A and B are shown apart, each in its own frame.
Chain A
Amino acid sequence: MDAAAITKALRRIAHEIIERNPDIRSVILAGIPSRGVEIARRIADFVRQIDKIDIDTGVIDVAMHRDDVGTRRELPVVRESNLPLPLEGRTVIIVDDVLFTGRTVRAAMDAIGSFGRPARIQLAALIDRGHRELPIRADYVGKNLPTALEQDVQVRLEQIDGEEGVWIK
């Protein structure tokens, strides 16, 4: 997947979000660091272009809600979560780069629950690579990418990685 294909996919997701959410002003795009945050920003840009509306964005870090604490020999840095409050009556769309086992999304839902009780939670992912370990599916998918379990899917974004594209290794 190259830069043009990523742009096209995210623009389509923006259209789908507008279509599925008649009350688009109630939507919060909550990115999972670090690439989910950048993807959420881009989707918000497209929504602004299409509908002339600024929708809220936020950051939801899942590290402290993961279920594998105590099993790793090294820990990554935890980022600060930041959501516009209150969440009551809002639609929070979790945004991530790759949807895989679903465990990160479960942790994100748990984290959102500690900020309040949104009306609904939806899920957008640039890539869905399959191999779910939990009953979770995405509402918006940029591209379905069938992979083998041992393969590694890498999303690279200009603002974070200095290059743009999706690679399977």
Chain B
Amino acid sequence: MNERWTRKDLLGLRELSIDEINFILETADAFKQVGAREIKKVPALRGKTLVNFFVEPSTRTRTSFELAAFRLSADVINITASGSSLTKGETLKDTAKNLEALHADILVLRHSSAGAPQFLAERLKSSVINAGDGAHEHPTQGLLDAYTIREKRGKIDNLHVVIIGDILFSRVARSNIFCLTKLGARVTLVGPSTLVPRDFEKLGVTVSHKIDNVLPDADVVNLLRIQHERQRKEYFPGTGEYTRLFGLTKARAKMLKPDCLVMHPGPINRGVEIDSEVADGSRSVILDQVTNGLAVRMAVLYLCGGIAT
């Protein structure tokens, strides 16, 4: 494995090498251990300023980045779309330039437009971390999902990972696909044909529209949230019908292997894409994902923010 990290930005997982992905996962092992210490804080990013710039609302990702930054001794400011000058007509670039003039070292960006983090990364000296851009990528979510699979199953290579739900609009699905296929997993996408088009097979995955055919062979089931805010009527069959056709119900969960992992990036819609009994059941690693997200984000902030620019 390449034993060095040289990137200042994390924009997506598509452009990372297998070595770079493994490098982040191994670094996350070290940072996960920090959570078990008496003093859960290390001085790695002391004196650095991190700006959480969330143009799209998100509580869980933002607080995860914020806590990760605290544990690395960085100073954090949070800016949300409604509280920023973007609502007064300032362009994204001008806002970011202003943040840089305040000597922000790391910019964590959540934006509704795909490519916004790259746009800024090319123009700023600061590190830019993509915290989700449109339907493009959500790299730290892809990494924490891979980390959780690797932790629980000891490997990723040759595992069959089934991703169910709204793939078309999902940056989580894309980051998962890039990451898991690089690490040797077999990936199957499941959902209605409107939300899981055959085109995805070009990414080296299998597409299925029949959940019951796929579940018995799954080593990991990753359920994506139905993004009501992005849905248009013509794509989506309706909540009741979706649950009947693609929900991981208590009855369907009986088809799963005993050691199959059940994952969900949250927030979960209980009774829609997953039944409560399954979300809280023995196969569920949903809360491990939250814990691991912190370790993975600490690793990413340390690596990208700790590089000389």
Whether the pair A74, B4 counts as a contact (CB closer than 8 A) is: yes
A74 touches B6 (CB 8 A): yes
B29–A64 touching, CB < 8 Å: no
Known: A75-B4, A75-B5. A64 touches B308 (CB 8 A): no
Band of interface residues on A:
20 to 34
Cβ-based interface call for B16 (8 A): no
Task: Name B80-124 residues within 8 Å CB distance of A.
Answer: 105
Is B134 in contact with chain A by the CB < 8 A criterion? no
The residue on A at minimum CB distance from B307 is A75
A148 at the interface (CB under 8 A from B): no
Q: Which of B39-47, B154-162, B282-290 contacts A (4 or more CB under 8 A)?
A: B39-47
Question: Residue on A with the closest CB to B6?
Answer: A74
Fill in one digit per residue for A49-91: 1 if any B CB lies within 8 Å of its CB, else 0: 0000000000001011111011111111111111000000000
* Complex interface bits, A83-116 against B, C-beta within 8 A gives 1, otherwise 0: 0000000000000000000000000001101111
B79 contact set on A, CB distance < 8 A: none
In contact, A72 and B307 (Cβ under 8 angstroms): yes
Query: B269 → chain A, closest Cβ, in Å?
Result: 36
Of the candidates A61, A73, A78, A79, which one forms a contact with B308 in the assembled complex, judged by CB atoms under 8 Å apart?
Answer: A73
- Residues of B near A64 (CB, < 8 A) are 30-31, 34, 42-44, 72, 302
Q: How far is the CB of B230 from chain A (nearest CB, A)?
A: 37
- Nearest residue (CB) in B for A87 is B38
* B33 in contact (CB, < 8 A): yes
Known: A64-B30, A81-B30. A75 touches B306 (CB 8 A): yes
- B30 and A79 contact, CB distance less than 8 A: yes
Q: Is the CB of B3 within 8 A of A77?
A: yes
Partner of B48, one of A70, A77, A113, A114: A70
Residue of B nearest to A78 (CB): B30
Number of A-B residue pairs having CB atoms within 8 Å of each other in the complex? 82
B303 surroundings in chain A (CB, below 8 A): 75
- Considering the chains assembled together, what is the distance between the CA atoms of A80 and B41 in angstroms? 15
Count of B residues near A, CB < 8 Å? 34
**B23 contacts the other chain (CB 8 A):** yes
Contacts of B308 in A (CB 8 A): 70-73
- In chain B, positions 1-57 with a C-beta closer than 8 Å to chain A are 3-6, 23, 26-27, 29-34, 37-48
Given contacts A64-B44, A69-B45, A69-B306, contact A76 B33 (CB under 8 A): no
Given known pairs A70-B306, A70-B308, the reply for A77 and B27 (CB within 8 Å) is: yes
Are the CB atoms of B33 and A81 closer together than 8 Å?
Answer: yes
A65 with B43, Cβ < 8 A, contacts A72-B308, A73-B308 known: yes
Cβ-neighbour of B3 out of A69, A73, A76, A81 (below 8 A): A76
Bound-state CA distance A115–B29 (Å) is 17
CB distance from B153 to the nearest CB of A (A): 19
Q: How far is the CA of A164 from the CA of B30 in the complex (A)?
A: 28
Q: Which residues of A contact B33 (CB under 8 A)?
A: 80-82
**A75-B306, A80-B29 given; A114·B42 CB < 8 A:** yes
Contact with A110, one of B5, B43, B47, B105 (Cβ below 8 angstroms): B43
Question: Chain A residues with Cβ under 8 A from B40's Cβ?
Answer: 114
Distance in angstroms between the alpha carbons of A110 and B41 in the assembled complex: 11
CB-CB under 8 A from A71, the residues of chain B are 308
Kindly report which residue of chain B lies nearest to residue A73, judged by CB atoms: B308
Q: A65-B43, A65-B44 known; A77 and B23 CB under 8 Å?
A: yes
Across-interface contacts of B47 in A (CB, < 8 A): 70
- How far is it, in angstroms, between the C-alpha of A144 and the C-alpha of B23 when the chains are bound? 36
A65 to B6, CA, bound (A): 19
Please give 15 more A-B residue pairs, beta carbons under 8 A apart, in addition to A64-B31, A78-B299.
Answer: A63-B30, A64-B72, A65-B42, A70-B305, A72-B308, A73-B6, A76-B4, A77-B5, A77-B23, A78-B27, A78-B31, A114-B34, A114-B38, A114-B42, A115-B39
18 example contacts (A-B, Cβ-Cβ < 8 A) are as follows A63-B44, A64-B30, A64-B31, A64-B44, A66-B44, A69-B46, A70-B48, A71-B308, A74-B6, A78-B299, A80-B30, A80-B32, A80-B33, A114-B38, A114-B40, A114-B42, A115-B37, A115-B39
Q: Which 8 A-B pairs give the minimum distances between C-beta atoms?
A: A78-B30, A114-B39, A74-B4, A64-B44, A64-B42, A69-B306, A75-B5, A80-B30
